[in-house]
Chains A and B, each alone.
Chain A
Amino acid sequence: MASLSLIDVHKRYGSTAVLDGVSLEMEKKEFIAFLGPSGSGKSTLLRIIAGLETADSGEVWLDGRRIDGLTPGDRGVALVFQQYALYPHMTVRENMAFGLRNAKVPASEITTRIEQAARTLEIDQLLDRKPGQLSGGQRQRVAIGRAIVKAPKLFLLDEPLSNLDAALRNRTRVELAQLRQRVDAAVIMVTHDQAEAMTLADRIVVMSDRSIQQVGTPMEIYDRPANRFVAGFVGSPAMTMLPVTLDPSGNADAIVRLGNGTLIATQIKREELTGETSFDLGLRPESVTVAAVGAGTLDAEAVIVERLGDRTLVYARLDDGSEITAVDRGDSKLHMGDRLGLLIDGRSAHLFGSDGSGYHAEQTI
């Protein structure tokens, strides 16, 4: 049975549409990330599920119960706010107990639940402090603890890592991953950070422009982006796009021709490419490797060389001016302005039609 179902949710503020017919089915205990740029409607969708906003139309179901007409407190969801929203005048213990007291949970059970959650989150030393006396990371834990003690059917996390510094963010990410193994509930996390979404989520819902662009596992999203937006938004550095035309020479698999005439053989089924002849060729950086001048598929000039230690990213410019990102070994000798050859691996290339929709190799290598 699905845990959360969204059916054709619409929302507009005045004349501005924010969500345009969003539908989604969530498995039990699934961890889903809403990933998208600012203004994509992902936070609004989260707030509609929590009951802090009302949808103009559409239905929200949780565990077989329609919840879109219920007050936020009656929905069986818990939200961890981006700014934590801890009550500043209450101690950590009171913060965690507040919701349970209002729900008339017996005092002894409140104590048990708080102590259990505090141990799990390693905040048992902080229970009698006030939020003002805690560090950012500790506040984050308290905010999560306040959600856990409610034993909700669904956790909602609004940009949970965005207020933490880089080191703490990585640690908290690991802890969130561990935490979700322990809680018996589904989790939705809103984020604009693809690394968070890729590492934590079972499935990612990529949102842009008021609607869902693609729903899939992190690797599906990465390997088979449904359209040009998803391809460009997920993956860092972004996928390179080069204009190509379909070459008539291919048989079952499509062969495309770059602007300078270079042919690239893909493993995309030719029959899927309905009618069109102009496409954008999408290349992940790892599909383009550096070779000696003249030894690759084509030659280019290095514009920026980024040394990351284990590998080197080379931002290069082709002779026709278009830009392409390639990967070289960690000990690359390249410098800005050097000429280099680029070896393009057409087997993992993607094609995007004029409407933006993506075509991929049958089996990604």
Chain B
Amino acid sequence: MTRHDRFGGFAFVLPFVGFYSFLLILPFFMGLWISLHRADLFGARKWVGLDNYVRLFGDPVFYQAMGTTFTLALLIVPALTVITLLLALALNRATRSAAIFRGLFFSSSVLSVTIVTLIWRFVLTPDAGLIAKVFTAVGLEPIPFLSHPDWTIPAIAITTIWWGLGLPMMLFLAGLQQIPQDMYEAAALDRASRWTTFFRITLPSLRRTTILVVMLQTAAQLQIFGQAQLLTSGGPSGSSRPIVLYIYEIAFGRWELGYAVAAAEVLFLLVLVLTLAQYWLSTRKEDAIR
């Protein structure tokens, strides 16, 4: 490769590298820098070293928010993966009704979080919500989905799952359509039952898609924010406050920018480590079967 070629190659990636550095790498290091200060949004800075991090790891509210975040992710990611896989299996056919349902299930994804929470408020509100009306009609006490600590997290999880169905379903559909038809014909000639075909042909063929869906969803759900903010504002008494809401409240409620950024850096590392770990685990298994 001549020096000219190498320069040409750099020229092609330069725009992306430039944007990426300016919008992601640079802010990350700026964040690290700010997290070592007591800072507010007006630019006042005072060096405090690792004080923010020490404070953070001594803050019970931080741990509570972490707990809430992980509970939400554990409720949402597996359920969302299974539900969207089942939807994709059901809708992977060339009929008009399947096309309509595909559109229908995808449509929730194009709504903004405000609309989504508004819709689910109509469903969940204890006094006049849809579910409450059904409960009252059959003589049961309505469930206080948005105000009881036991119900707020499931309510946020359900809202999120409903909102997030579209993309993973489409990824699974794309994965299903990648499986050659003659594979299924070979399985039919090999006397495979429907179950055997699903578990031995379809699922293994969707391995990469499943890994992708789980990784994307984990990264997304650890940063869950809007639904919690708009449905419950993290309440009651912080029981449904995920970590990003916690960061938001510190930064824009209490004006403690340095402290908030410290929490954000910790979250970033956490998402990075978890995603890489999933990737490593899944590719290691692939190497093992080879």
Q: Which A residues fall within an 8 A CB radius of B?
A: 50-52, 71-74, 77-79, 81, 83, 85-90, 98-99, 102-103, 130, 133
Contacts and interface: CB of A to CB of B under 8 A. Distances in A.
B263 to A, nearest CB: 42
13 contacts: A71-B191, A73-B189, A73-B192, A78-B189, A79-B186, A83-B180, A85-B180, A87-B183, A89-B204, A102-B196, A103-B191, A130-B289, A133-B290
Contacts of A72: 185, 188-189
Nearest to A82: B182
Nearest to A103: B191
Across chains A and B, which 10 residue pairs bring their CB atoms closest together, nearest first?
A: A73-B191, A99-B190, A85-B182, A89-B204, A102-B191, A85-B186, A72-B188, A72-B189, A81-B182, A98-B190
Interface string B277-290: 00000000000011
Interface string B173-216: 00000001011011111111100100011001101000000000
Interface of B is mostly: helix
B191 A85 contact: no
Given A98-B200, A130-B290, A87 B192 contact: no
Contacts of B187: 98
Contact of B188 (A71, A130, A133): A71
Contacts of A102: 190-193, 196
Given A85-B182, A87-B183, A98 B189 contact: no
Interface of B: 180, 182-183, 185-193, 196, 200-201, 204-205, 207, 289-290
B189 A99 contact: yes
B201 A87 contact: yes
Interface of A is mostly: loop
B193 A79 contact: no
Residue of B180, B183, B189, B290 most packed against chain A (CB within 10 A): B189
B290 A77 contact: no
A139 to B, nearest CB: 13
Given A89-B207, A98-B200, A52 B185 contact: yes
B196 A81 contact: no
A72 B184 CA distance: 11
A51 B187 CA distance: 12
B185 A73 contact: no
